[in-house]
Amino acid sequence: MDVRVIIFVIFAIAAVAGAISMVLARNPVHSAFGLLMTMFAIAVFYIMNGAHFVAALQIMIYAGAVMTLFLFVIMLVGVDTSDEAEEHIPYQRPLAMILGSGLLILIVASGIQTWVNAAAQTGRGSLGTIENVSDELFGTWLLPFEATIFLLTIAAVGTIGLAQFAFNLRVASGDDDE
Amino acid sequence: MVDLIWLVIALPLLGAVGLLFLGKRIGEPNSGRIATLLVIASFFIALIAALPAFGGDFEGENIFLFEWLPSLGVNFSLLWDPLSAMMTLVVTGVGALIHIYGTGYMDGDSRYPRFFTYLNLFIASMLILVLGDSFATMFVGWELVGLSSYLLISFWFEKPSAAAAGKKAFVVNRIGDFGFLIALMIIFATFGSLSYDTVFGNADKLQVGGATVTAITLLLLVGAVGKSAQLPLYVWLPDAMEGPTPVSALIHAATMVTAGVYMIARSASLFSIAPVSSGVVATVGALTALFAAIIAIGQRDIKRVLAYSTISQLGYMFMAVGATAYVAGVFHLLTHAFFKALLFLGAGAVIHGMHGEQDMWKMGGLRKKMPIAFGTMVVAWLAISGIPPFAGFWSKDEILAITYGKGGAWVALWAVGLVTAALTAFYMSRLMFLTFWGEPRWDDGIEPHESPRSMTLPLVVLAVFAAGAGLINTPFRPSLEHFLEPAFAFIKVAHAPEGITPWVLAGVSVLVALGGIAVAYRRYVTRTLPVEEGERWDLVENGFGVDDLYGRTIVLPGKAVAESAAFTVDAKGVDGLVNGVGGAVKRLADAATVLQTGQVRSYGTTMFLGAVAVIAWLLIRGGAF
Amino acid sequence: MTMSDLAVTAGWYMALAALLFSIGAIGLLTRRNALVMFMSIELMLNSVNLTFVAVGKELRTLEGQIATLFVMVVAAAEVTIGLAIIVAVFRRRATASVDELSEMKG
């Protein structure tokens, strides 16, 4: 048995377990740690697929920056689990379960023959080293890459604007008790 | 000068538009003067343009103005031939005199400039009708005349009766216009064009007395009957007396009502090959003449007598054009324009001098108070009664002679015309005797007085024409017939019989007219005034209840239909449908708002439902299952 | 097929990604804490990234990885804005539950 299969199974279980615990945990902090586990597992899968640079970014940006941001906001907003007890929207949970499993069944059903019967990948393919990825990124994909600059700038400005907006609202309504 | 003939229309039109916007600023005396001068200028341009025609053998010419409706084969161009030249001269000439008269009559009216706006519009409309060289142009003028008559009849719209009269004139005219319009459609379908040249040039290709030409001419007759106030659509004209008196004179003498006669005369090429229609025209004319003359006898209101008199005289004209005596018909139109305008303006002078009194039984003995009005009206009276050598004698007698000369059933129409002549002499004499002779029967406080110069001048001018206009077409010297000959060149026009017959007939009609006058003289002057009351007089005064009859049979059901349309079909049906659709949409929207829970997770659910459905559909379509 | 023949193909990753995506979807629909909903969305994005990388390897191209990088950028932008909104709402309403933000109810 290929060692890859063992690694895949272990980390697949870890990823699914992390995802499920994220969904089920009453405490948002626990959810965040579940997601963190899934992200680490996915980073492993990236390495298994030769995407070394992407795996590094996955850990640095997602597991590092984004999840830290999440935790920071959770702490800011406060951990409140009281309102998760009961569902107000009728049939929301059964519907969500049916739709989620329906989606899964459909996707698996659509791909089952090709996926299972596909020949195992023998060649190494092109490795996702920094050199290769940056060649590609700053060559063929330069323009979209530059466009992301605008996206991120807008996001930054928007975030500042939202913070300012909330501040102004608070001043206008007169409750500056913080 | 012929090339400038468009100015004849343009000047009054300019006056109408200019006064519409600037009338108030120009003010009272000047707006009337401007309007009057423009019409006088029109008259002189027309006169100069017509000068070559007086020499004889004037074929007429088309003056192209601009391309208008190429798909209908119609350009906006004018036709200047003897017939339209004569009509133009009558319209502008009499119209100008009425304008002059109006400056005096409307003196002090609060909407003085507006009045002359409408008058100019009326003249311009009538000139478009007369001068157009296609049925389409004529129809434009036709409708504009209808509009301006509506505006003028209901000029004093503060009076409910005036407003109602304007509405009535408009609605009744619409019935006629409807027939006219259908006639135009059939003409276009048959000839592929609406221009006179094409239509009349190809008229001889139609089967004589065939269904097509009969249908066209009968429908044209419907239009003419509406506009010229013939049976059964005459009811609007007596009510039109609610307008100011100059308007009555303008509508009844020079312009609107003669449009029907002009239209039939213009379409002579069609009518002359439709004997059935011509017979109907003559019969309608004769019956109208008699019927209206009888009603005129019973009227107490001086203007209503003249209104019914107009209807009756128009009946003569219809009789003439029905008998294919187009020249005689147009001749009577011409003389009638003079003496009837004179009668109306004279009556207006009387009313003016009597401070608005219109009931003849409250007049009497006015000849000494208003010598000019009296003198001129005597001329008109003798003219309309058919006493030689005044104008009415020549024209009416020619019509009667031609009708008699056609023989057969036409003799019966001649007899009707003769009886009408006697009645005409009688009711006109009644009017004159009650108004100017006898003892004063005025209400207290009324001081009859002569009218200002601006009103008496037109009276005198018209009196001259009413006395002398007949001489342009006597049996001795038929100048008008010669003048109009080119217009009816290819049509068989009926002529008066030869020999001794016309003289005998003329003698008979003069005797009959004198008889009518004599009876009236004995009844209203030499004896004590009779009391004209009781059932029979009421019946005649009310015009045999035709208005009531129309009211019950047409207006009431029409109102019922309108009310049911407004309050049942519209309020419940249409509104119900609209509200129902609106309500259904609202209920649907209310149902849809259930989806708008404001719960973002519900929206998410819906989104995923859609995503799952799309994937499933794609897979099923791709044959995965 | 015996156990020794067993090898990890792209199909495995795709099946796993489908499972993670479905779990993310269920989490999005069932949790009402806006933060957890955001985490569910991040999970779904990650599962899609996984398929990009796996399929990119299958097709011997780097474009799958490039796509993943772009998704990460967009996700980062989205997270900053989303979290800013959550913070702004919380300062105003003192709650992070989306169920109480239903002013737009029809």
* Residue, of B506 and A84, whose pLDDT is higher: B506
* Residue, of B76 and B60, whose pLDDT is higher: B76
- With contact defined as 3+ CB pairs under 8 Å, the chains touching A are B, C
**Residue A45 has what pLDDT?**
93
What is the residue-averaged pLDDT of chain A? 82
pLDDT above 70 covers a percentage of chain B that reads: 97
| C86 chain-A contacts, CB cut-off 8 A | 73, 77
**Residue C50 has what pLDDT?**
93
| A99 chain-B contacts, CB cut-off 8 A | 605, 608-609, 612
A82 Cβ partners below 8 Å, 6+ apart?
Answer: none
Both tokens of C60, joined, read: 């011997």
C10: distance to nearest CA of chain B, Å?
Answer: 20
Q: Which of A40-54, B52-66, B202-216, C33-47 has the lowest mean pLDDT?
A: B52-66
Residue range B124-150: average pLDDT? 89
The amino acid present at B428, given as its one-letter code, is M
First to last CA, chain C: 57
Is A159 in Cβ contact with C21 (below 8 Å)? no
pLDDT above 70 covers a percentage of chain A that reads: 80
Helix, strand, coil content of chain A in percent (nearest 5): 80, 0, 20
A87 Cβ partners below 8 Å, 6+ apart?
Answer: A93, C30
What is the residue-averaged pLDDT of chain B? 84
C1 Cβ partners below 8 Å, 6+ apart?
Answer: none
**Residue B171 has what pLDDT?**
86
Question: In whole angstroms, what is the distance from residue B292 CA to residue B314 CA?
Answer: 10
pLDDT tens per residue, range C29-75: 888 888 889 999 999 999 999 999 988 888 888 888 999 999 999 99
- Residue in A closest to B604 by C-alpha: A96
Q: What is the CA radius of gyration of chain A?
A: 22
| C106 chain-B contacts, CB cut-off 8 A | 592-598
- Residue in B closest to A112 by C-alpha: B624
Contact B599, C37 (CB under 8 A): no
Contact A51, C61 (CB under 8 A): no
Size of interface B-C (CB pairs under 8 A): 35
Residue range B574-598: average pLDDT? 84
Whether the predicted pLDDT of A1 surpasses 70: no
**Residue A124 has what pLDDT?**
47
Facing B602 at nearest CB: one of A89, A100, A102: A89
Whether residue A56 lies within 8 A of chain C, CB to CB, comes out as no
Q: Residue B195: helix, strand or coil by DSSP?
A: strand
Tell me whether residue A111 is in a domain: no
The amino acid present at B423, given as its one-letter code, is L
User: Residues B507, B509, B513, B514: what is their CA dihedral angle, to the nearest 10 degrees?
Assistant: 20
Residue range B466-470: average pLDDT? 82
Question: In whole angstroms, what is the distance from residue B67 CA to residue A94 CA?
Answer: 77
Tell me whether residue A151 is in a domain: yes
pLDDT tens per residue, range B418-437: 899 989 998 888 888 888 88
Contact B266, B272 (CB under 8 A): no
Is C23 in Cβ contact with A103 (below 8 Å)? no
Whether residue A98 lies within 8 A of chain C, CB to CB, comes out as no
Tell me whether residue A90 is in a domain: no
Is A92 in Cβ contact with B605 (below 8 Å)? yes
A37: distance to nearest CA of chain C, Å?
Answer: 11
Q: How many CB atoms lie within 10 A of CB B616?
A: 18
- Residue in C closest to B592 by C-alpha: C106
Facing C25 at nearest CB: one of A99, A144, A166: A99
Both tokens of B524, joined, read: 């209203």
Q: Which of the four pLDDT bands, split at 50, 70 and 90, describes residue A123?
A: very low
Question: In whole angstroms, what is the distance from residue B556 CA to residue B565 CA?
Answer: 14
**Residue B499 has what pLDDT?**
73
Facing C26 at nearest CB: one of A78, A97, A108: A97
Smallest CA-to-CA distance from C25 within A64, A22, A62, A10 is with A22
Whether the predicted pLDDT of A13 surpasses 90: yes
User: B119 to each of A118, B23, B96, B149, B625, how far by Cα in Å?
Assistant: 98, 13, 10, 9, 86
Residues A74 and A133 in one domain: no
User: A120 phi and psi, to 5 degrees?
Assistant: -65, 145
Residues A133 and A77 in one domain: no
Whether the predicted pLDDT of A82 surpasses 60: no
Q: Which candidate in B615, B618, B625 is best for mutational testing of the A interface (most A CBs within 10 A)?
A: B615
Question: In whole angstroms, what is the distance from residue B226 CA to residue B235 CA?
Answer: 9
- Residue in C closest to A90 by C-alpha: C30
| B588 chain-C contacts, CB cut-off 8 A | none
Q: Which of the four pLDDT bands, split at 50, 70 and 90, describes residue A12?
A: very high
Question: In whole angstroms, what is the distance from residue B259 CA to residue B69 CA?
Answer: 23
Whether the predicted pLDDT of B141 surpasses 80: yes
| A110 chain-B contacts, CB cut-off 8 A | 615, 619, 622, 624
pLDDT tens per residue, range B279-324: 889 999 999 999 888 888 888 888 888 888 888 999 989 998 888 8
**A21 class by beta-carbon count within 10 Å (0-12 exposed, 13-18 middle, 19+ buried):** middle
Residue range B114-125: average pLDDT? 90
Contact A35, C39 (CB under 8 A): yes
Alpha helix ranges (H) inside B27-111: 28-54, 82-105
**Residue C19 has what pLDDT?**
92
Q: Which of the four pLDDT bands, split at 50, 70 and 90, describes residue A22?
A: very high
Cα B567–B569–B572 angle (5° rounding)? 70
**Residue A93 has what pLDDT?**
84
User: For residues B212-245, b (16+ Cβ closer than 10 Å) or e, as one string?
Assistant: bbbbbbbbbbbbbbbbbbbbbbbbbbbbbbbbbb
Contact B400, B512 (CB under 8 A): no
Tell me whether residue A104 is in a domain: no
Question: In whole angstroms, what is the distance from residue B79 CA to residue B502 CA?
Answer: 35
Q: Which helix (H) or strand (E) holds B285?
A: helix B275-297
Both tokens of B387, joined, read: 């006493």
| C99 chain-B contacts, CB cut-off 8 A | 599, 601
C10-96 CATH choice from 3.40.50.850, 1.20.140.10, 1.10.150.570, 1.10.287.3510:
1.10.287.3510
- Residue in B closest to C104 by C-alpha: B598
Q: Using the structure block, give the residue that is written with the tokens 């007395």.
A: B209
Whether residue B607 lies within 8 A of chain A, CB to CB, comes out as no
Q: Which of B72-86, B179-193, C60-74 has the lowest mean pLDDT?
A: B72-86
Tell me whether residue A140 is in a domain: yes
Whether the predicted pLDDT of A80 surpasses 60: yes
Whether the predicted pLDDT of B617 surpasses 80: yes
**Residue B411 has what pLDDT?**
87
Tell me whether residue A103 is in a domain: no
Tell me the HSE value of A98 on the side-chain side, using a 13 A CA sphere. Answer: 9
**Residue A14 has what pLDDT?**
94
Whether the predicted pLDDT of A58 surpasses 50: yes
The amino acid present at A63, given as its one-letter code, is A
Is C105 in Cβ contact with B596 (below 8 Å)? yes
Q: How many CB atoms lie within 10 A of CB A41?
A: 23
DSSP assigned state of A121: P
Residue range B544-561: average pLDDT? 79
Q: Using the structure block, give the residue that is written with the tokens 């006088």.
A: B40
Contact B363, B441 (CB under 8 A): yes
Is B624 in Cβ contact with A92 (below 8 Å)? no
Smallest CA-to-CA distance from B62 within B135, B140, B131 is with B131
Give the CATH number, domain containing residue A72. 1.20.120.1200
**Residue C3 has what pLDDT?**
56
Is B594 in Cβ contact with C29 (below 8 Å)? no
Residue range B242-265: average pLDDT? 82
- Residue in B closest to A107 by C-alpha: B615
Whether the predicted pLDDT of B517 surpasses 90: no
| C61 chain-A contacts, CB cut-off 8 A | 126
B617: distance to nearest CA of chain A, Å?
Answer: 10
Q: Which of the four pLDDT bands, split at 50, 70 and 90, describes residue B350?
A: confident
**Residue B254 has what pLDDT?**
62
Both tokens of B262, joined, read: 């002009």
pLDDT tens per residue, range A103-121: 888 888 777 656 555 555 5
Residues A70 and A133 in one domain: no
Q: Which helix (H) or strand (E) holds B74?
A: strand B74-80
User: B498 phi and psi, to 5 degrees?
Assistant: -85, 170
B599: distance to nearest CA of chain A, Å?
Answer: 8
Structural domain including A144 reads 129-172
Residue range B20-30: average pLDDT? 81
Residues A76 and A1 in one domain: yes
Q: Which of the four pLDDT bands, split at 50, 70 and 90, describes residue A178?
A: very low
Question: In whole angstroms, what is the distance from residue B281 CA to residue B401 CA?
Answer: 17
Which ipTM did the prediction report? 0.88
Is A66 in Cβ contact with C81 (below 8 Å)? no
First to last CA, chain B: 93
Q: Which of the four pLDDT bands, split at 50, 70 and 90, describes residue A146?
A: very high
**C31 class by beta-carbon count within 10 Å (0-12 exposed, 13-18 middle, 19+ buried):** buried
Tell me whether residue A16 is in a domain: yes
Is C19 in Cβ contact with A16 (below 8 Å)? yes
pTM > 0.80: yes or no: no
Partner residues linked to B132 by β-bridges: B78
What is the residue-averaged pLDDT of chain C? 85
**Total structural domains within chain A:** 2
Cis peptide, bond prior to residue B82, ω within 30 of zero? no
